[in-house]
Structure 1
Amino acid sequence: MQTRAKLRAAVLDLASRAPVEEITVSDLTKKAGINRSTFYKHASSPADLLRRVIWDELDGLRAEIFALAAPGTALSEALEHGLHGLAEHVVRFSALYTTGLVDHSSGALHALLNEHSIASFTALLEGRADRMPPGASGDAVSVAMYSAFLAHGVTGVMESWLRTTGTGDPGLFVATVLAVLPPWLTGAEGTSHRSQERSTS
């Protein structure tokens, strides 16, 4: 447990200073005070370690979203809660995301965010015809494509938010995503307007 904590702190610190692609295993082992064999018991590469650390953070947020997304209820509340949580996560690790997505174009950081979002949207859509577009088949291929579209959209808004305003206005990120999420997913009209009003009040 102590080793995991050391590795977590090391990769978050180093990835806040340079893209994870530029971080070596030697950099991490030196920073964490461990040897290479110990490192490889926990991750296959610096990018893999960062993915595990960020996914651990985001998995907790996903659990909260699913707890709110009860069958038969509109997803608007759960999605809005999740987006606020995602914004808070980005603000908490602002140096990491600014370095990886604004100062540099870290393909690894971009990919791990998309992969987690795709998995989350897939879990929300699978077997739920009420959360799919009217007339959609709901088969695995359709769910995969809709999930990818939604996930890449959220990540794209996040990157634009960081590039244009930094992390100073999380409400803008939340309101923008809610404004473009399709009604067939949220199940509620007007959610984006309410969030926008809160962000500007």
Structure 2
Amino acid sequence: MRDAALTLAAAAPLQSISVSEVCRAAGITRDTFYRHAPSPVELVAVTLGEELAEAIGRHDPLSGLEAFRAAERSLLQHVADHVDVYRNAMGPQLLAPLRANLERTIHATLRTHLDQHPQSVPAGVDAADEDALDVVASYAAAGTVGAVERWIHTEPLDVDRGVAVIIAASPEFWFA
């Protein structure tokens, strides 16, 4: 079912894919589909989100510039591997479920980093202030997703260049 949804999403705008199309492609009933997902968009979002969390999770806990580069490379490689799906999920921005998955995964990774590396907390932020740390991680996650949304429209799609640009645009406190 997941493979069928990803295949369809790579070939057509994600929001136009119907449950019936996924069921036909997967050889399942509508009942089976709805036992696992509320919609094709949500099915694709969950599938990509799980894959992304696994790819980025290999780099936890992040420590230092090289670890950030490796995690960023995993993020961009994941997007490049599914670029047709992500491009077909774009309006001005990614569809909300896909964008939320990216932000949530990146936020969780950065928040873990701040917890494990308090020396990386930016000046002016109290390392014991949980709300402030969430704001810092959310700000960086949303910015990274915005960069990815722009990057997927570059030709040729170059993971190394994308990593270099996003890392260059990132505040140095992350790498402390």
| TM-score interval for Structure 1 and Structure 2 normalised by the shorter chain | 0.7 to 0.9
- Aligned match for 2:3, one of 9, 12, 30: 9
1:89 equivalent in alignment to 2:78: yes
TM-superposition CA deviations, 1:137-191 (whole Å, max 9, x none): 2322112211111111111111222223341x2111100111011111112xxxx
Shift in Å, 1:77: 1.5
C-alpha distance in 1 between matches for 2:78 and 2:37:
23
Query: Secondary structure of the residue that 1:123 maps to in structure 2?
Result: helix
The aligned amino acid for 1:14 is L
Alignment length, in residue pairs? 175
Q: Please tell me whether the aligned partners of residues 101 and 110 of structure 1 are also in contact (alpha carbons under 8 angstroms).
A: no
* Counterpart residue number, 1:122: 111
Q: Which stretch of the first structure deviates more once superposed, 171-180 or 99-108?
A: 99-108
The aligned amino acid for 2:31 is S
C-alpha distance in 2 between matches for 1:166 and 1:100:
19
* Counterpart residue number, 2:133: 143
Shift in Å, 1:95: 1.3
* Counterpart residue number, 1:59: 53
- Aligned match for 1:76, one of 38, 62, 65: 65
C-alpha distance in 2 between matches for 1:107 and 1:17:
19
* Counterpart residue number, 1:190: none
C-alpha distance in 2 between matches for 1:117 and 1:126:
14
Give me the TM-score of the superposition, normalised by structure 1: 0.77
- Aligned match for 1:165, one of 147, 151, 155: 155
Identity %: 28
Shift in Å, 1:32: 0.8
Structure 2 gap ranges (5+) = none
Q: Please tell me whether the aligned partners of residues 102 and 163 of structure 1 are also in contact (alpha carbons under 8 angstroms).
A: no
The structure whose RCO (Cα within 8 Å, separation 6+) is larger is: 2
Shift in Å, 1:28: 1.4
Shift in Å, 1:103: 8.9
TM-superposition CA deviations, 1:26-76 (whole Å, max 9, x none): 221121111122112222222221122112211222221105x3xxxx431
Give me the TM-score of the superposition, normalised by structure 2: 0.87
C-alpha distance in 1 between matches for 2:166 and 2:50:
23
* Counterpart residue number, 1:152: 142
Query: Secondary structure of the residue that 2:24 maps to in structure 1?
Result: helix
C-alpha distance in 2 between matches for 1:48 and 1:122:
25
1:36 equivalent in alignment to 2:30: yes
Shift in Å, 1:105: 5.0
Q: 1:104 to 1:24 in 2, by over 3 A?
A: farther
* Counterpart residue number, 2:171: 182
The aligned amino acid for 1:96 is V
Structure 1 gap ranges (5+) = 1-6, 188-201
C-alpha distance in 2 between matches for 1:104 and 1:161:
12
